[in-house]
Structure 1
Amino acid sequence: MKRWTTLFVATAMALSLAQAPQVAALVDAGRFQEAYEAGLRLATPEALALAAKGASFHAMYLAKPEEKRAWFERAEKAASQAIAKAPDYAEGYFERARALGRLAQYKGILEALAEGLAPRIRSDLEKTLKLDPNHAGAMVALALWHFELVQKGWLVAATQGADGAKVEPLMKKAIELEPDGIIHRVEYAKVLAAWNKKEEARKQLETALSLPAKTAADRYDQERARQELARLK
């Protein structure tokens, strides 16, 4: 009996590992809601992080404005479940930070600060980088964390420990690690445009549009790049 139990557990684990890439494929194909549901059903740490990613992407790219907050909340919950199952899994922390960061935007600065979202986001991003020092996505997100809080004024920045001097080094390091990352260049361009470095922003957007779009999210981000480029002209 023990032998059969061990065999069953091993088979179940193998099936879970085999199915997680299928959830990732759904995300890449732009079937974000399906990826979310499939990841919840599979319920491994990797699948739950992918479920969170699918929920966040659905909110960012497809959901109606009134639906976005609920989808980011679903993403945060799925990522928290991934962390509970695997406390040393970097993607769980990154996906939770992504969801909380977007939630903070929808809740507004006062509600977000009252709920303590800013330090939670920073903590998750720093944990991601501790577990995976070359996580380019976390670098971009942490750069945006500093940037957005500094943009709110010196008092908010000071109370949260945000530092505008950290923004550009983090952005540049992320692009160095992942030069084909379309989203990195679009987010960097947003920062550069806000700093009135329009020519540098334009170059980042043009590069983003020249890169191959490998996933549905890449295509959505290239559309963002087109829109941002049109606003700069």
Structure 2
Amino acid sequence: MNKTLKLSAVFALALALPVASAQSLQAAQDLYNQGKWQEAANAAAALKTSAGYALAAEATTNGAGLVADAQKKALFAKAQDYANQAIAADKNNADAYFELARAQGRLAQFSGILQSLGMAKDMKKNLDTAIKLNPNMASAYVALGLWNANLAAKGFAATAATGANKSQVVPNFEKAVKLDPNSPVHRLEYGNALLAIGDKAGAKAQFQKAASMSADNFWEKRDVAAAAAKAK
């Protein structure tokens, strides 16, 4: 092959790689949307890109909700690993910081009080970073709302140690649903947060709203069903 043809081949390959990567990421996303979270995580991580690792973290964290409790802690730790790899690949990837925060929040549920409070501080830091990088990330405001609600529910010691505030629950959720009004999980988690701080009537109203929403994939269908069960 002459030099001109070699250069043409190199340029053609360089142009094709981003397209192939995007198609592969979409394939992993499609698997995830079908509920095939393990295949999705493996396919996404195999891309070795920041977006791929972030999707692998998301799939692993949510997939942990489908397995026995004894398996959850290891999966949340694995999701953290994926998220950290996503950050290492691109320190400006807001999704990566959000997924790290989400995995930390879930893992904290399986840790002692002192360790979980330490994780709560790191979680808040990562959520703040995600929002700084993407101020319109509705999921990050949902997570902040839950963060404040769950820590407020633990009492003064937890709020004093972390800076969590019950008054920040509703504003964060209201911002989230304004940014993304058609997501049932936002309303479902809004209801969960209101329950945590003792607002049963408000929680039921949010569950009813979530239960009435349309669902386009496996995860949204689960959220709608969960909301319907809680709205009764």
Residue among 81, 84, 98 paired with 1:80: 84
Q: Give the superposition deviation at 1:6.
A: 4.3
Counterparts of 1:65-104 in structure 2, within 5 Å, are 65-104=69-108
Q: Tell me the equivalent position of 1:152.
A: 154
Q: Give the superposition deviation at 1:156.
A: 1.8
Find runs of 4+ consecutive structure 1 residues off by over 4 angstroms. Answer: none
2:30 pairs with 1:25: yes
Matched-pair identity in %: 36
3-state SS, counterpart of residue 110 of structure 2: helix
What 5-or-longer segments of structure 2 have no aligned partner? none
Q: Tell me the equivalent position of 1:53.
A: 58
2:45 pairs with 1:43: no
Cα distance in 2 for partners of 1:88, 1:49 equals 12
What 5-or-longer segments of structure 1 have no aligned partner? none
Q: Tell me the equivalent position of 1:176.
A: 178
Task: Spell out, residue by residue over 1:5-43, the C-alpha distance to the aligned partner (whole angstroms, 9 max, x if none).
Answer: 444333223211221111111111111111111011111
Counterparts of 1:100-139 in structure 2, within 5 Å, are 100-113=104-117, 116-139=118-141
Q: Tell me the equivalent position of 1:218.
A: 220
Bigger Rg, structure 1 or 2: 2
Q: Which AA in structure 2 matches 1:123?
A: K
Q: TM-score, normalised by structure 1?
A: 0.92
Please, which moves more after superposition, 188-197 or 153-162? 188-197
Q: Tell me the equivalent position of 1:199.
A: 201
Q: TM-score, normalised by structure 2?
A: 0.92
Please, which moves more after superposition, 13-22 or 24-33? 13-22
Q: Tell me the equivalent position of 1:13.
A: 18
RMSD of aligned Cα (Å): 1.6
Cα distance in 1 for partners of 2:131, 2:176 equals 12
**Change beyond 3 A, Cα 1:97–1:192:** same
Q: Which AA in structure 2 matches 1:87?
A: K
